[in-house]
Amino acid sequence: MPNTKSITDKVERKKIKRAARKKAAPKAKRTGARGENKATVKKASRGQAKR
């Protein structure tokens, strides 16, 4: 992605970014699940059961 900080015109900046995205090589397929590295949250204790 080119550096577009210097371009002030929003439409022009979008054009350049879109062209760069089209020209870029496609991303590889995922090897694992999207959230596989997220820390799992342990369910908190629910206290005494009702019945």
pLDDT tens digits for range 7-46: 899 999 999 999 999 999 998 998 988 888 888 887 777 7
12, part of any domain: yes
pTM: 0.50
- Domain with 9, as residue range(s), is 1-25
46, part of any domain: no
Residue in 18, 31, 45 with CA at minimum distance from that of residue 1: 18
Q: How many domains are there within the chain?
A: 1
4, part of any domain: yes
Q: Report the alpha-carbon angle 4-8-13, nearest 5.
A: 45
